Structure formats: C-alpha cells, structure tokens
Amino acid sequence: MKNRRIAIIGTGVAGLACARKLGMAGHDITLFEKSRGLGGRVATRRTPDGLFFDHGAPCISQPEHAPDLKKALAESELIKLWQATPENAPYVGVPAMNAWLKPLAENLTVHLQSRVKAIEAAGERWRLTISHDEGTNASEDFDQIVSTIPAPQARELLGALPGFSGVFDKIDMTPCWTLMSAFSERLNLPFDFQETPASGIAKLIRNSAKPGRRAVPDCWVLQADAQWSATHLEIEKEDAAELLLALFESAAGVQLPSPVYQTAHRWRYALTRNAYGVPFLPHPDGSIYLGGDWLLGDTIAHAWRSGSAIADSLIQAG
C-alpha cells in the first residue's frame, strides 16, 4: 500500500486529519484544494487593512466526538478556550480559526487553487482531471482516492460511479449567509456571542473578543439561520450585507454606526442536516473513499473523525 499513490480531495478538517495520519505512516499522498488556502469551512477572512473575521465555523463544538481531535487541540498552542461560547463549544483557533490546521499540512504535497474536475478509470488506476486557477488543466493517475468534499459536490464528481449511486440522496446540507462588519469603536452591546438573538439570525459573534485578536476595530460576524439563508440564497452579496446589517440592528436593539468595513459570504453547503451515519463510505473495490463531516454530522469533530477513520482503514489495509 505504501507504494501506492493516494490523492486526497479537499483540505478541510477531514482531508487534513486524514493526510496527517497517512503522512506520519509514510504513505505517498497528494492533496488537491480548489480554494487559495487550507481549512475549508474553518475559514478566516483577512482584509488588506488587517481585519480578521472567522466567517466559517466560529468555534470547535463537542471535540469529545473525536477523541484524537481533543488530544490534538490540547497539544496545540494555536488553540485557546473562549468563555463566551456555549459550554459544549469551548475552543477557538488563535490568532485565526484556521491557524491550527496549517501545521497539519507541513511537509505534505498540497496543490492549492486546483479543482478536481473529473475522475475516470485508467486501467488499474483512477485519472484525475485538475483545473488550476490560472486556467490550465492537467491530469494525474492515482491508485487510491479519498474525497472529503461536501456531499452535493461529491455527488457531482463521483455520483455517476457504480457503487455510489443513491448514496447522496438522503444527505441535505443547509446554506448560511454570513455578514462580516467592522466598527471603528467598540460597540456597547452586552454580549460577545449569542445564539438566535433575533429572527433570522443563527449566531452573532464579536470576533474581536476572541483570544489573540485586536479589540478595535470591533469586528463582528453574523450567521443567518438556514431558513433566511435559503430564502435569500441567490441575492447579490451587497444586498445580502445590507439586509443582514438590518438583522444585526434588530438584535442589537439600537441603530448601529456605519461600519468601516462590510461584506457578506454565501456558504452554499454550510451544515449537514441528515448525516449518513458511518465515518466513511468505501467504493466496493476499496479504491475510493468518501469522507467529510456529512458522513457523521455537522461539526469539525465529525469531519476530523471521518478523515481520521479513513486513514486508519488505509493504514490497516497496508
């Protein structure tokens, strides 16, 4: 097995947890990631002016769902406890949510801005067609594929392969519109983290109050709830930002000053509604594994457990 080439698609938590274990066991792995950075939905927006917004997962929920994640968090200097979050979601990355994930990819072969567009059989192997952001296409052959991308994207890429038909039918992932707003002075609001503070809002978070962040400008992240996000899914980003700022004001109960920075981000596939119920799904011949949070649930711990279980299975097979 160690001589076999393994491709991991996606460098979110699941892909990185899998890669770290396989890398430590000496396997030949290559990671492909369509975006510019690591972390997937554990994401931080950095503006040219040095503002930070964790616009994906704001904290790490129920790490006990993945015992080796709990250990990794306890050992990382890039993780801190934050008292403002609910008791079951105690950890945040420092100085950014995704900071702790970057060291997991050290010494690994990672191709960023490289989207896997197609997978087809090539003799005994699988041929990946990869489109790079600069406009070129390439293909590479691998013995083993590990997909850690969200279910709807995995359906597009792999749904036509025999063995995976019907797998994706019961999985539903809800969207999330997210507002990022910064104010020149600290807002005088009596909370740093609130769940469902007003209709349409899932979470309202004072990003600047997290450990290791600058206190001003006062940076906030608002996550719309699934229903609001689905209703407004196709509106323009600028329109979403205006509507979300109005929701923010309704939660604050006062008129807010004009933000010095504001933008919105649409997560088309944010949270899993119906998980599959197993850590991963192997292709009948074992040469492709489907993983990611959606197999087990809707949290970072679920993603970690899935990626880690795939690595264990491949290591055992070796």
Ligand X SMILES: Cc1cc2nc3c(=O)[nH]c(=O)nc-3n(C[C@H](O)[C@H](O)[C@H](O)COP(=O)(O)OP(=O)(O)OC[C@H]3O[C@@H](n4cnc5c(N)ncnc54)[C@H](O)[C@@H]3O)c2cc1C
Contacts of 134 (CB under 8 A, 6+ apart): 113
Question: Mask 114-153, x = binds ligand X (CB under 6 A)?
Answer: -xx-------------------------------xxx--x
Residue 299 as a binder of ligand X (CB under 6 A): the answer is yes
Contacts of ligand X in 230-259 (CB under 6 A): none
The residue count for binding ligand X (CB under 6 A) is 41
DSSP assignment of 166-212, as one string? TTTTT--EEEEEEEEEEESS----S-SEEES-STTEEEEEEGGGSTT
Residue 22 as a binder of ligand X (CB under 6 A): the answer is no
Helices (H) and strands (E) in the chain, counts: 6, 18
Contacts of ligand X in 208-227 (CB under 6 A): 223
Question: Mask 261-290, x = binds ligand X (CB under 6 A)?
Answer: ------x--xx-------------------
Among 101, 275, 303, 311, binds ligand X (CB under 6 A): 303
Distance CA 95, CA 231 (A): 34
Residues in the chain: 318
Distance CA 156, CA 266 (A): 20
- For ligand X, the closer CB: 252 or 310: 310
Beta bridge partners of 120: 127
Binding site for ligand X (CB under 6 A): 9-15, 32-35, 40-42, 56-61, 89, 115-116, 148-150, 153, 157, 176, 178, 223, 267, 270-271, 292-293, 298-300, 302-303
